[in-house]
């Protein structure tokens, strides 16, 4: 797998879990990284791990569930660099476990604000710059969750992520800005729980594949991180 020297990546929700694995994995590929957390102190460990790889690292903070939080993130990004070449929309939340009939509308809206609407806001802000430079890689995190109605807001939001990514890819066709969606697998993270199938580290190297695509490579596709376990 090739290097990403002189590129900048923003990884939302990278203070821990899957996002941390991706951010550090990118840094090991010599990509400069912008780490994100809800609070700046949450980003320190990931930032230290990335800095140890000898790349430039910045940290931004903001709650993706609010407009003010998204604006704070974008201000931090603008202060760190005038380019974002790779965008991992990784941050997501789940609803509380309860009967699908008992999930209130405000809980649906809260999940969609973070899992979908914030993703769209970051793409709207950062993709125009990618188009101007003729290079971009957008990777939207999805899920393979099925038949779990108690988590319907989460699963439906991820289905919307898939469709949005395909529409985004259609809009970007021929620009060398590629938009794909990534299923990391069921991982033993705070969200995935202790009974999940895989350790967080197994998201690599597969999670990096859509960031390392050749110019004008596939777009609008699903990549499953666990399919690339044997990739060097």
Residue 3 in any domain: the answer is no
- Active site includes 181? no
- Point out the catalytic residue in the list 88, 135, 154, 181: 154
Residue 52 in any domain: the answer is yes
In this prediction, residue 209 has a pLDDT band, given cuts at 50, 70 and 90, of: very high
CATH number of residue 140's parent domain: 3.40.50.720
Q: Which residues contact 124 (CB under 8 A, 6 or more apart)?
A: none
Instruction: Output the average pLDDT for the chain.
Output: 94
Residue 214 in any domain: the answer is yes
Residue 1 in any domain: the answer is no
Q: Which domain holds residue 132?
A: 8-228
Residue 139 in any domain: the answer is yes
- At 229 the pLDDT is 79
Least trusted range by pLDDT, from 8-17, 177-186, 197-206 = 197-206
Residue 143 in any domain: the answer is yes
Interatomic CA distance for residues 51 and 186, integer angstroms: 28
- At 186 the pLDDT is 67
Residue 176 in any domain: the answer is yes
Q: What is the pTM of this model?
A: 0.95
The tokens describing 26, both together, are: 């990118």
Residue 203 in any domain: the answer is yes
Interatomic CA distance for residues 21 and 17, integer angstroms: 7
């Amino acid at each position: 797998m090739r290097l990403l020297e002189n590129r900048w990546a923003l990884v939302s929700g990278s203070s821990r879990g899957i996002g941390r694995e991706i951010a550090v994995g990118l840094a090991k590929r010599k990509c400069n990284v912008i780490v994100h957390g809800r609070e700046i102190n949450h980003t320190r460990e990931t930032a230290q791990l990335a800095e140890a790889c000898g790349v430039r690292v910045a940290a931004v903070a903001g709650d993706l569930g609010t407009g003010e939080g998204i604006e704070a993130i974008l201000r931090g990004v603008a202060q760190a660099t005038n380019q974002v070449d790779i965008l991992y929309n990784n941050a997501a939340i789940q609803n509380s476990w309860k009967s699908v009939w008992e999930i209130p509308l405000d809980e649906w809206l809260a999940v969609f604000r973070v899992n979908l609407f914030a993703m769209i806001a970051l793409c709207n802000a950062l993709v125009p710059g990618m188009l101007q430079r003729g290079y971009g890689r957008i990777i939207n995190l999805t899920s393979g969750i099925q038949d779990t109605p108690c988590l319907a807001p989460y699963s439906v939001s991820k289905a919307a992520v898939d469709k949005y990514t395909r529409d985004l890819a259609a809009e970007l066709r021929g620009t060398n800005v590629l938009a794909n969606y990534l299923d990391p697998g069921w991982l033993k993270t705070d969200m995935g729980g202790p009974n999940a199938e895989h350790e967080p580290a197994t998201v690599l190297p597969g999670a990096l594949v859509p960031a390392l695509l050749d110019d004008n490579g596939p777009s609008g596709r699903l990549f499953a991180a666990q399919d690339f376990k044997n990739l060097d």
